[in-house]
Amino acid sequence: MTQTSDNVTWLTQEAYDQLKAELEYLSGPARGEISAKIAAAREEGDLRENGGYHAAKEEQGKQELRVRQLTQLLEHAKVGEAPPDDGVVEPGMVVTIAFDGDEDDTITFLLASREYASTEIDTYSPQSPLGGGVNGKKVGEQAEYELPNGKMAKVKILGAKPYAA
């Protein structure tokens, strides 16, 4: 799990290992694969009208951006434990909230860095308006955050449990 504080990103050992493995793959085998795609597309001729070449170059750019992001993240990472199961909302917790106190209008999400986003559960960053509003609150407390239109929204914290992958 991740928790961002200034320039430090807190990661569980599992999250650190996953990100490190992704970086090693992108820095090694994936670079060779994209280079081969570019070379094959280049051999097809005129580069101005070569869709395969341009797609491969775009993919290479995205891949290199991800390598830089992961490198920076891991350089500033501190490995720690998952948050305690104490009912306090913090990064690494699965949070259930009710909008405006309506216990039927609820959502459950993981409060974590986008680096740990998964398809299994929606992920909200602690820096997002909602994430920042609920961070540090206890189960049963109200939280307030600013909507994109400038209005304030209230939610009630119904649950906060450590995320288990």
CA 144 – CA 158 distance, rounded (Å):
14
> CA angle, 74 as apex, 72 and 75 as ends, to 5°?
65
Question: What Cα–Cα distance (Å) separates residue 148 from each residue in 47, 78, 126?
Answer: 43, 32, 16
Confidence of residue 10 (pLDDT cuts 50, 70, 90): low
Determine, yes or no, domain membership for 86.
no
pLDDT in tens, 13-55: 777 888 899 999 999 999 999 999 888 888 887 777 788 888 8
77: nearest Cα among 23, 22, 19, 127: 19
CA 69 centroid distance within chain: 12
**Final residue in a domain of this structure, among 79, 106, 123:** 79
- DSSP of 46-103, one letter per residue? -GGG-HHHHHHHHHHHHHHHHHHHHHHHHHTEEE-PPPPSSSB--TTEEEEEEETT-T
Residues 10 and 37 in one domain: yes
Based on the structure, what is the number of domains in the chain? Answer: 2
pLDDT in tens, 133-163: 999 999 999 999 999 999 999 999 999 998 7
pLDDT in tens, 91-131: 888 999 998 867 788 999 988 876 665 667 888 888 889 99
CATH number, domain at 134?
3.10.50.30
Determine, yes or no, domain membership for 88.
no
- The model carries a pTM of 0.58
Range of the domain at 130: 93-162
Determine, yes or no, domain membership for 111.
yes
Determine, yes or no, domain membership for 44.
yes
Report DSSP state, residue 24. H
CATH number, domain at 52?
1.10.287.180
Residues 101 and 129 in one domain: yes
